[in-house]
Structure 1
């Protein structure tokens, strides 16, 4: 069995690469996709559409351009992994999880125990909650098992 997995969420650690390496080491047939993880590039995604005098409108245009990629890749995926880190609040990750729930798209949350309470609704709709990338890889291995 083959899977397409969208890796959503925080962009400040190497969690995506850890999952990719783990899946490759296990010989899993997975295509991984992700948002643009270059923070500056993501913030500037709509700049080519013309200058804005206010930060709100720059963010507004860029979020819409980023949404083209995000929505397309989430809709095309078989499964989404949503990572919540501890450095910043990932409102975009929470939005992606909600989008998955609305689409009835299976997703796994990946976060530490210290943010269980603020993510209780997000976790309640997830099909699994993991605290490590190894747990995500093990879940993927099970799901793709012959």
Structure 2
């Protein structure tokens, strides 16, 4: 079995790398995709590609539309969408991605700490799995793909 997994959410920790290493160590045939996690490039792509804007609203508008092209394509192509919510910043983009994935009928794994269970209750309710760590994501993927519990 092969899976395509889109990794959405916070960009201020190494959770994606932890999942990537775990998937490799487990020998799983998983293709991992993600948004552009370089904050500056994500913010500046509209200005750099389509021309500079003096008003930050239009700068952000152009960048979000270009980034949205990538996000829509990768979520649409994914078998599973993992959405990570950190506790340091509000991640409206992650919530939007979770809702978009749910609307498309994508399988959804939500990852966050116990301190934000309440504000994410509706997002969690749409998910097929809710976990706290990247290692648990790898174990879920391993179970799905091998039909065996982790050692």
Please give the TM-score of this superposition, normalised by the length of structure 2. 0.95
Task: State whether structure 2 residue 133 is matched by structure 1 residue 128.
Answer: no
Write out aligned runs for 1:131-146 (5 A): 131-145=132-146
Task: Say how many residue pairs are matched.
Answer: 146
Task: State whether structure 2 residue 52 is matched by structure 1 residue 67.
Answer: no
Which residue in 2 is equivalent to 1:20?
Answer: 20
For 1:126-146, what per-residue CA distance to the aligned partner results, in whole angstroms no more than 9, with x for missing partners? 100010111111000011115
Output the CA distance in 2 between the equivalents of 1:70 and 1:86. 22
Which residue in 2 is equivalent to 1:104?
Answer: 105
The structure with more helix, counted as a fraction of residues? 2
Root mean square deviation, CA, Å: 0.8
Which residue in 1 is equivalent to 2:50?
Answer: 49
Output the CA distance in 1 between the equivalents of 2:38 and 2:73. 19
> Segments of 4+ in structure 1 off by > 3 A?
none
Which residue in 1 is equivalent to 2:33?
Answer: 33
Segments of structure 1 that go 5 or more residues without pairing to the other structure are none
Which residue in 2 is equivalent to 1:89?
Answer: 90
Segments of structure 2 that go 5 or more residues without pairing to the other structure are none
Output the CA distance in 2 between the equivalents of 1:84 and 1:68. 22
Q: How much does 1:42 deviate?
A: 0.3
Output the CA distance in 2 between the equivalents of 1:51 and 1:37. 21
Output the CA distance in 2 between the equivalents of 1:6 and 1:77. 6
Which residue in 2 is equivalent to 1:114?
Answer: 115
Q: How much does 1:52 deviate?
A: 1.5
